[in-house]
Amino acid sequence: MSRKYFGTDGVRGKVGDFPITPEFAMKLGWAAGRVLSQRGTRKVLIGKDTRISGYLLETALEAGLIAAGINVRLLGPMPTPAVAYLTRTFRAEAGIVISASHNPYYDNGIKFFSADGTKLPDEVELAIEYELEQPMVCESSEKLGKAQRIEDAAGRYIEFCKSHLPNHLSLSGMKIVIDCAHGATYHIAPAVFKELGAEVVLIGASPNGININADCGATHTDLVQKTVVEQQADLGIAYDGDGDRVMMVDHTGRVIDGDEIVYIIARAAKSQNKLHGGVVGTLMSNLGLELALQQLDIPFARSAVGDRYVMELLREKDWRIGGENSGHVLNLDHTCTGDGIIASLQVLTAMIEAKMTLAEFSQGMHKLPQVLVNVKFEKGTAPLEKQHVKQVIADVETRLNGSGRVLIRKSGTEPLIRVMVEGEDALLVREYAEQIAAAVKIAS
């Protein structure tokens, strides 16, 4: 069955436009409550990022869940991976995150975690969609749920993160720039790194409800790059609005993206005989990652784009490490979902144990020039089906002659066509990507 409301990462959209409305959020809470109340603890956690619409959606979801007889535990602003972790530790039936991740403040979304901290199984999402089509009926008063705020949620997660730097190691003597994107890590990441001994230069940690991801964080790294160089820091770490993505910056100001972070973690695991199987990337992963892992005799496989699909392939192969170049990094030996803070701590652990800088550790991987161009399109149009677009793509693939890749796909979260071209010559790669993007734009 196809989904009507759930996308690859929950329900998303512009606030005030269906389905990101208070009416739908309340109905969604009720529908989820109807499904979840048939099992277990009848308890659901709700966390959110720092965007202003979180208050609206949190209240609406809370009302719907309580009407279905679910007890709600409110976490307040909390990174997405923290909600996954706390859902497990509180033995809740599910966790809900109100966030649009790296999107601007005027977008928002609602995504769910299962009791084990992973994405909801397909059958549960379909059951919720079925209930959404039914009339909303409130439970009798004695069966209504209750709401309670968990006051120590941040402290619990901070200690969990700190546990991922081995006890015999410290960050003492390291100067680290932390960019929290004015998002959900603003009160978590600084405490983690300071308590582990680092000198922290903090940026992007003053959320006001509308500045989340605005010219900062993992999707806009210019600020953290500039700050690392100005402060003569050892490195920089940038998270996105909900804390499940991470980008790092070496002491020269060069960005270390998700592919390189995956490489560093896999390389360290291999050197310590702790690598179980191989590494999963996506169709967007740089060819340089595949070649670098090949040099280390580490198997590599590509999934569809999206951490959900990386997770599925990891489980299918019984491997542990995977990720996306956008900064989603998975290591199932540490967490059950992408976690920016824990991924960055794994890189720091590898650096300290190898006595290498971030720049030195990443040198084993040479990225091929890769250009990504996003093209907006009107909903209801199908520019990729136009013959002219197909012809331009075919022409570029012919000119690459097997020495590069072309990948064209629709975004799962925004009305965008993502045009990616990869090859050996940076100027030609840029030219080819812009040619395809222009054709797509005309056809939109």
Catalytic residues: 101
CA distance 342 to 136: 40
CA distance 6 to 127: 11
> CA angle at residue 342 from 338 to 343, to 5 degrees?
70
Query: DSSP strand E in 272-351: where?
Result: 279-282, 300-303, 321-323, 329-331
Residue with tokens 């040198």: 363
Here the contacts of 302-305 (C-beta below 8 Å, separation 24 or greater) are 305/409, 305/412
What's the DSSP call for residue 133? T
Q: Are 282 and 422 in contact (CB under 8 A)?
A: no
Q: Are 166 and 196 in contact (CB under 8 A)?
A: no
Tell me phi and psi for residue 309, to 5 degrees: -80, -30
Q: Of 307, 175, 182, 170, whose CA–CA distance to 236 is shortest? A: 175
Tell me phi and psi for residue 107, to 5 degrees: -100, 155
Tokens of 25: 């959020």
Tell me phi and psi for residue 329, to 5 degrees: -130, 130
Question: Helix (H, G, I), strand (E, B), or coil: what is residue 59?
Answer: helix
CA distance 247 to 344: 8
Q: What is the widest separation between alpha-carbon atoms in the chain? A: 70
Residue with tokens 């006890």: 167
CA distance 331 to 342: 9
